[in-house]
Chains A and B, each alone.
Chain A
Amino acid sequence: MTAAEPRKKDVEAVSEVIQRIATGDFSAKVPLSNRGDAFDAVAMGINLLGEEIQAYRIEKEEHERDLTDMLEGLKKSKEESEKARKELKESEERFRRIAETSIDFIFQIDKKGRFIYCSPSVEKILGLKPEEIAGTNLQDYFMPSDFMKAFDRFKEVLSGRNVGLFDMILLNNRGAEVQLELSAVPIVEDEQITGLQGIARDITEYKKTEMELKEREELYSSLTQAVMDAIITIGDEGKITYWNEGAEKVFGYAADEAVGRVATKLVVPEQFRAKMDEEFEKFFETGESPLINTITEAAAQHKNGNEFPMELSLAPVRIKGRWHAVGVARDITERKRSEEELKKYTENLEREVKERTNEVIQSEKMSSLGQLVAGVAHEINNPMAYLKTNTEFLEDNLKDLEKICGEKGQPLFEEMRELIDSNMDGINRVTTITKTLRRFARPDDKGKVVSDVNEGLKDTLVIVHNRLKHRIEVHEEYGDIPRLACNVGQLNQVFMNLIMNSSQAMDEGDIWLKTWNDHENVYVQVRDNGKGIPEEKLREVFNPFYTTKAEGTGLGLSLSYRIVQAHGGDIIAESEIGEGTTMTVKIPVEVNE
């Protein structure tokens, strides 16, 4: 066997490996002889090819697996795509249904502002059907003045910025303004912004109502701030929620000091706080309280700590299901003071009226009495005149009869003469009394006449003579006083009151009457030595209705004082217990003869 001829062993080895490779065992290798000959080269080639086939097969299997995985992936991707398409379709359907039924206006516009889509609700808002709007430009519906503002917003949206909610005003098919509130986002296709889509709500009515509410609120605010009364609202836990300028003035706290604080702690005096807190607690639970819907007078406390009377009215208001109280409070300090003054004034007036009425009655009584006395005196005067004439005639006749009868009838004539003298004395006395009565009463004197005050005093003594005789001794000391322009009838009444008061101050005693004058005044003094008047009571003797006598009216000295005052004068009262009382009438000299 030559070197070039294959050996049987080598051929068998190659044959076995080829068979194994043919059955898929690519790991089979032909063992090299290490001779470096052709056999080794063939063996090396077979081994390398086996390796390559094995590698190819492995790679093929890997490729097949990859292909299978890829096909699975494609299948899955297709299913997912189908699912996504279905979901997208459903989503679009949902969106369409929402858009078709929404009361809001859903729209899409391209980058040039042309409407691509409008939901049917646009017809209610702008009065135009979606198909009428499609293709038109948003600019066609803007108020010219509002366009730039809205344009800027849309530009921001198209730049991808989130601008949130914003307002714009469009014009509807009748040219009326429609206020819209809208939000918009860009439409992105293939990573490019192709337009914007948004949703707009018609807020025209809302804005109108909001404006009306604002105006009303401003009006109420102005009203509440303009009123002088305090207007306060009290909410949860009795805390103040509103405090107008009036409240600032009434209570002294500024609004920012008062709001949020408990009302009762701020303005109710401590002694009334517990009761008020109780009332408020009841009110906030039930909405009812005796304080509600009535006007109550209550004590309030100012910031400076002073208490003052206030008039308070409370009304219930239900806000967010809870009771609040609206209170109107008024400082009635001035009113109370005025009422007090009015009350005093009324009382004084009533007293004055009573006094004057009694004085008038008294004066009328005196006037009537004066007229009566004057009338009676006049009626008495006439018969007294002829009684006197007749008595004088009888006296003359008696003298003639004595001459005729001589001594024979002397005893009889003597007795007759005594009777005639006695008659004359009585006649003269009656005449004097009637004259005095007429002078004393002076019913015809309506004003002041120049009169002799001494005469008036003497006439008064004549009148009161019977009340004094046997009990009181009168001492008279008349000065040379000037005649006065006066109402002598009224002055006589004064003198009579003073003399009678003195006489009534003692069972027995003395009364001193004295008149004098200086350059300005005439003085008439009535002094007694009676029991006297205590000092504290001396100040009250001229008050109306003050009397110490059971049957007295209390008007005598009061009336006398007023009469003297009416003459520009005064009555000075002096007294000492156990020593007596002195009343001095001072009357200015108006006319001095």
Chain B
Amino acid sequence: MSIDSTDEPITEIEKDNSGVVHLKYRPNSSVTLETAVKDIQETARIGAGKKVPVVVNLTGLKSVSRDARRYYSGEETAKYVSAAALVADSPVSRVLGNFFLGIDKPPMPIRLFSSEEKAREWLTQFIE
């Protein structure tokens, strides 16, 4: 059964005390454009009109569609996300993260980290 076919969201989104928003995908998820749009809408809601730094944990992702990548690296995302730290701790997630950095070239500051801690630390500079 496909993850996308269920009504249950595949992304967990929450904001920590420092103001950093965390996005984490369910294992073996395939992210489509629809998921990406919902993720950014939720991020905007949590940010309450302000840009927020976001930690995106790519661990466990099965695939990310090209449309979803384009959306994440597009202007709509840049309106609500001040910087993004990608966390990849597996070969597959690293391929995805590097591909995103090299091919999609998002406009906001973005880096790839191997741990959430380092990622959050880097993002603190972008907290408004």
Residues on A lying within 8 angstroms of B by beta carbon are: 32, 34, 36-38, 40-41, 44-45, 47-48, 51-52, 55
Cα–Cα distance between A47 and B69 once the two chains are bound (Å): 14
Cα–Cα distance between A52 and B96 once the two chains are bound (Å): 13
B103 to chain A, nearest CB (A): 6
**Chain B residue at smallest Cβ distance from A32:** B62
Q: Which residues from chain B contact A34 at a C-beta distance below 8 Å?
A: 28, 62
Tell which of B91, B92, B103 has the most Cβ of chain A within 10 Å.
Answer: B92
**Chain B residue at smallest Cβ distance from A55:** B66
A4 to chain B, nearest CB (A): 12
User: When the two chains form their complex, are residues B91 and A40 in contact, meaning their CB atoms are under 8 A apart?
Assistant: yes
**Chain B residue at smallest Cβ distance from A46:** B95
17 contacts between A and B (CB under 8 A): A32-B62, A34-B28, A34-B62, A36-B92, A37-B91, A38-B91, A40-B91, A41-B91, A41-B95, A44-B63, A44-B92, A44-B96, A45-B95, A47-B63, A48-B99, A52-B66, A52-B103
User: When the two chains form their complex, are residues B28 and A48 in contact, meaning their CB atoms are under 8 A apart?
Assistant: no
A26 to chain B, nearest CB (A): 12
Take A51-B66, A52-B66 as given contacts and tell me if A36 and B90 are in contact as well, using a CB distance cutoff of 8 Å: yes
Cα–Cα distance between A37 and B66 once the two chains are bound (Å): 22
Cα–Cα distance between A15 and B95 once the two chains are bound (Å): 19
Q: Which of B2-55 contact A (CB under 8 A)?
A: 28
Q: Which residues from chain A contact B96 at a C-beta distance below 8 Å?
A: 44, 48
Q: How many residues of B contact A (CB 8 A)?
A: 12
Cα–Cα distance between A40 and B66 once the two chains are bound (Å): 18
Is B111 an interface residue, CB under 8 A from the partner?
Answer: no
Is B94 an interface residue, CB under 8 A from the partner?
Answer: yes
Tell which of B63, B91, B94 has the most Cβ of chain A within 10 Å.
Answer: B91
- Residue-wise, chain B 85-97 has the 8 Å CB interface mask toward A (1 for contact) of 0000011101110
If A34-B62, A41-B90 are given as contacts, then 7 extra A-B residue pairs at C-beta distance below 8 Å, sorted by A number, are A37-B91, A40-B91, A41-B94, A44-B95, A45-B95, A48-B103, A52-B66
Q: Which residues from chain A contact B92 at a C-beta distance below 8 Å?
A: 32, 36, 40-41, 44
Cα–Cα distance between A47 and B95 once the two chains are bound (Å): 11
Q: Which residues from chain A contact B90 at a C-beta distance below 8 Å?
A: 36, 41
- Residue-wise, chain B 53-84 has the 8 Å CB interface mask toward A (1 for contact) of 00000000011001000000000000000000
Cα–Cα distance between A51 and B70 once the two chains are bound (Å): 13
Tell which of A34, A36, A37, A47 has the most Cβ of chain B within 10 Å.
Answer: A36
Cα–Cα distance between A48 and B69 once the two chains are bound (Å): 11
Q: Which residues from chain A contact B91 at a C-beta distance below 8 Å?
A: 36-38, 40-41
**Chain B residue at smallest Cβ distance from A40:** B92
B94 to chain A, nearest CB (A): 7
**Chain A residue at smallest Cβ distance from B70:** A55
Q: Which of B99-113 contact A (CB under 8 A)?
A: 99, 103
User: When the two chains form their complex, are residues B62 and A48 in contact, meaning their CB atoms are under 8 A apart?
Assistant: no
A47 to chain B, nearest CB (A): 8
Cα–Cα distance between A36 and B91 once the two chains are bound (Å): 7
Cα–Cα distance between A55 and B70 once the two chains are bound (Å): 12
Q: Which residues from chain A contact B95 at a C-beta distance below 8 Å?
A: 41, 44-45, 48
Q: Which residues from chain B contact A51 at a C-beta distance below 8 Å?
A: 66
Q: Which residues from chain A contact B94 at a C-beta distance below 8 Å?
A: 41
B77 to chain A, nearest CB (A): 19
Cα–Cα distance between A52 and B69 once the two chains are bound (Å): 11
Q: Which residues from chain B contact A36 at a C-beta distance below 8 Å?
A: 90-92
Cα–Cα distance between A34 and B62 once the two chains are bound (Å): 8
**Chain A residue at smallest Cβ distance from B64:** A48
**Chain A residue at smallest Cβ distance from B99:** A48
Take A34-B28, A36-B92, A37-B91 as given contacts and tell me if A45 and B62 are in contact as well, using a CB distance cutoff of 8 Å: no
A324 to chain B, nearest CB (A): 85
**Chain B residue at smallest Cβ distance from A29:** B63
Q: Which residues from chain B contact A45 at a C-beta distance below 8 Å?
A: 95, 99
**Chain B residue at smallest Cβ distance from A45:** B95
Q: Which residues from chain A contact B66 at a C-beta distance below 8 Å?
A: 51-52, 55
A141 to chain B, nearest CB (A): 65
A507 to chain B, nearest CB (A): 162
Cα–Cα distance between A51 and B63 once the two chains are bound (Å): 12
**Chain A residue at smallest Cβ distance from B62:** A32
B91 to chain A, nearest CB (A): 3
Q: Which residues from chain B contact A37 at a C-beta distance below 8 Å?
A: 91
Q: Which residues from chain A contact B28 at a C-beta distance below 8 Å?
A: 34
B113 to chain A, nearest CB (A): 17
Q: Which residues from chain B contact A48 at a C-beta distance below 8 Å?
A: 95-96, 99, 103
Cα–Cα distance between A315 and B28 once the two chains are bound (Å): 117
Counting from the closest, the 5 A-B pairs by CB-CB distance are A41-B91, A44-B95, A41-B95, A45-B95, A41-B92
B16 to chain A, nearest CB (A): 27
Q: Which residues from chain A contact B99 at a C-beta distance below 8 Å?
A: 45, 48
Tell which of A34, A40, A48, A52 has the most Cβ of chain B within 10 Å.
Answer: A48
Cα–Cα distance between A201 and B78 once the two chains are bound (Å): 69
Cα–Cα distance between A41 and B66 once the two chains are bound (Å): 17
A164 to chain B, nearest CB (A): 55
Cα–Cα distance between A41 and B95 once the two chains are bound (Å): 6
Cα–Cα distance between A32 and B28 once the two chains are bound (Å): 11
Cα–Cα distance between A51 and B104 once the two chains are bound (Å): 13
Cα–Cα distance between A44 and B95 once the two chains are bound (Å): 7
**Chain A residue at smallest Cβ distance from B96:** A44
Cα–Cα distance between A507 and B66 once the two chains are bound (Å): 171
Q: Which residues from chain A contact B103 at a C-beta distance below 8 Å?
A: 48, 52
Q: Which residues from chain B contact A44 at a C-beta distance below 8 Å?
A: 63, 92, 95-96
**Chain B residue at smallest Cβ distance from A38:** B91
Cα–Cα distance between A36 and B62 once the two chains are bound (Å): 9
Q: Which residues from chain A contact B62 at a C-beta distance below 8 Å?
A: 32, 34
Cα–Cα distance between A55 and B69 once the two chains are bound (Å): 13
Cα–Cα distance between A51 and B99 once the two chains are bound (Å): 12
A10 to chain B, nearest CB (A): 14
Cα–Cα distance between A47 and B28 once the two chains are bound (Å): 16
Cα–Cα distance between A48 and B68 once the two chains are bound (Å): 13
Cα–Cα distance between A40 and B94 once the two chains are bound (Å): 11
B1 to chain A, nearest CB (A): 15
Cα–Cα distance between A44 and B90 once the two chains are bound (Å): 12
Cα–Cα distance between A40 and B62 once the two chains are bound (Å): 10
